[in-house]
Amino acid sequence: MKGKDQTVPSSAAATLRRRRIIFRCVGLVVLTACGCALLTNASLRGDALAKRSGDPSLADTAGSSSALHDEQASSAAAFVDSIGVQTHINYTDTPYANWQQVLAEINRLGVRHIRDALPLTPTFVKNHQQLAAAGIRCTCGFSINKGNAPTPEAIVQAARAASDVEALEAPNECDAGTNCGGGSDAGVTHVMAVLPQLAQAARTLQVPAIGPSFTRQEAYAASGPITPWMTYGNLHVYFGGRNPGSEGWGAGDEQGHRYGSFDWWLDQSKRNAPSLPELITETGYEAFDTPTRPGTIPVQLEGTYLVRTLLLAWNHGVQRTFIYEMLDEFPDSGYGLLRHDLSEKPAYLAIKNL
């Protein structure tokens, strides 16, 4: 009180100091989680070195600006612009049939980029035009059956009609199953044959051309170079329900990175696109209120893991990352940010708030 001795007793002073330390630590954690303040790699490596050696002085030395390079700041707007979401507009036997509600949910989510199929027929052109009117752009791909692919002229015509196309993507996971007329090596051969047509259409539209995505290490090696035709390499990065910071599992590659880690996937992209930057056109988690299958996670954890995935991808230099996917197409599928009844999962709110 005014006029009284303001000296804090020693026990109270100690408590106050402890509270201040706690508040500072909590504030740092909150800011770090929000992406507002990040611990530098130098500090983390310095602390780790100090712990291993038992010499605390190494923490300051290893974390100093003279020991490691400074990190380049990025704008928040650029990071937000790196986020996209997978949609399946033409899956009319799923909740996508409620298109106006789905469109409203995409708008509320705040993501300005989707990945979907190029509307090669007039059926879904209006849906894409509505996305364009809302300021949402599409990275659009198409399917093939062996050598049966749309001509460059057909691709250009469809993209101009849709009016939301900002990039063209090669056919999807041609090494998987019977995709692209056979899967495995046959599928890889078929997708490589259409890359020149894709590149020609992309040049006409003046948009980037995104390379083929594969599911196997062997496919990236077998495809041969895609650099003459493509603007970006393409990855589908899944972590099998693990933390996105996982160091991987199973066998390692030539660089010593283990399957499933970010670095392992980036190594695969360098096999057929050594000089190209990468995009991740699929990543995500299968999440349920009560997960039962191996590799599935609780919906509360999905929100945390997806935000961390986006931040880690950005720190690895990935210029756009698409979350798989917007909604659960069926009740027993769990990759969606929305449930099958279009109610919001915690992951939807996490991305929206981000």
pLDDT at 77 over 90: yes
pLDDT at 66 over 90: no
Q: How confident is the model at residue 157 (pLDDT cuts 50, 70, 90)?
A: very high
The pLDDT of residue 53: 43
pLDDT at 249 over 90: yes
pLDDT tens profile 102-139: 999 999 999 999 999 999 999 999 999 999 999 999 99
Q: What is the DSSP string of 187-249?
A: HHHHHHHHHHHHHHHHHHHT--EE----SSHHHHHHT---TTT-SBEEEEE--TTS-TT----
The pLDDT of residue 17: 45
CA distances, 181 to each of 55, 194, 199, 212 (Å): 60, 13, 21, 15
The residue with greater pLDDT, 84 or 62, is 84
The residue with greater pLDDT, 72 or 268, is 268
The residue with greater pLDDT, 16 or 104, is 104
The residue with greater pLDDT, 233 or 61, is 233
CA angle 228, 200, 129 (to 5 degrees): 125
The residue with greater pLDDT, 287 or 62, is 287
Nearest to 265, CA basis, from 312, 230, 212, 217: 217
Q: Output the average pLDDT for the chain.
A: 85
Span 68-93, average pLDDT? 91
The residue with greater pLDDT, 154 or 57, is 154
Contacts of 234 (CB under 8 A, 6+ apart): 169, 170, 210, 211, 212, 213, 269, 278, 279, 281
Strands 233-237 and 297-298: unpaired
The pLDDT of residue 10: 42
pLDDT tens profile 279-329: 999 999 999 999 999 999 999 999 999 999 999 999 999 999 999 999 999
Which position has the token pair 């057909």? 154
Which position has the token pair 């020149």? 196
pLDDT at 241 over 60: yes
pLDDT tens profile 89-98: 999 999 999 9
Q: What is the DSSP string of 147-170?
A: TB---HHHHHHHHHHH--EEEEEP
CA distances, 328 to each of 102, 186, 245 (Å): 12, 31, 25
pLDDT at 200 over 90: yes
How far, rounded to the nearest angstrom, does the alpha carbon of residue 259 sit from its chain's CA centroid?
A: 17
CA–CA separation, 266 vs 237, rounded Å? 9
Cβ-contact 256, 304 below 8 angstroms: no
The residue with greater pLDDT, 11 or 194, is 194
Q: How confident is the model at residue 69 (pLDDT cuts 50, 70, 90)?
A: low
Cβ-contact 246, 258 below 8 angstroms: no
Span 190-196, average pLDDT? 96
Nearest to 139, CA basis, from 121, 162, 116: 116
The pLDDT of residue 251: 85
Q: Which two tokens stand for residue 289?
A: 């209120």
